[in-house]
Amino acid sequence: MAGRLTRDSRIFIFPCNCSAEGLLEVEVNTPLAALQVRSVIQQLTASRSELIDWLEDCWRA
């Protein structure tokens, strides 16, 4: 199975597997891919207040 993310007419494919135990394994081959996977996981697991804090930190930078 491959996860697909689209942006600016580009498609990023991440080979991945979800085990019976519920663990997600993702093949990451570049630093950019690692950042993209981290961003998606953060958005899915962080609380609303954590995401707001993160966004405000980005705006200040």
As a whole number of angstroms, the distance between CA 57 and CA 51 comes to: 10
The pLDDT value given to residue 4: 53
Mean pLDDT, residues 41-58 = 90
Handedness of CA 47, 25, 34, 15 (dihedral sign): negative
pLDDT at 48: 93
* Tokens 């085990």 sit on residue: 19
Measured distance CA(16)–CA(5) in Å, rounded: 13
Summarised one tens digit per residue, pLDDT across range 1-44 is 455 544 544 556 778 888 888 888 888 888 988 888 888 888 88
Q: At residue 48, what is the residue type?
A: R
Q: What is the pLDDT of residue 9?
A: 42
Which pLDDT value is given to residue 61?
Answer: 78
pLDDT of residue 17: 85
Rg of the Cα atoms in the chain: 14
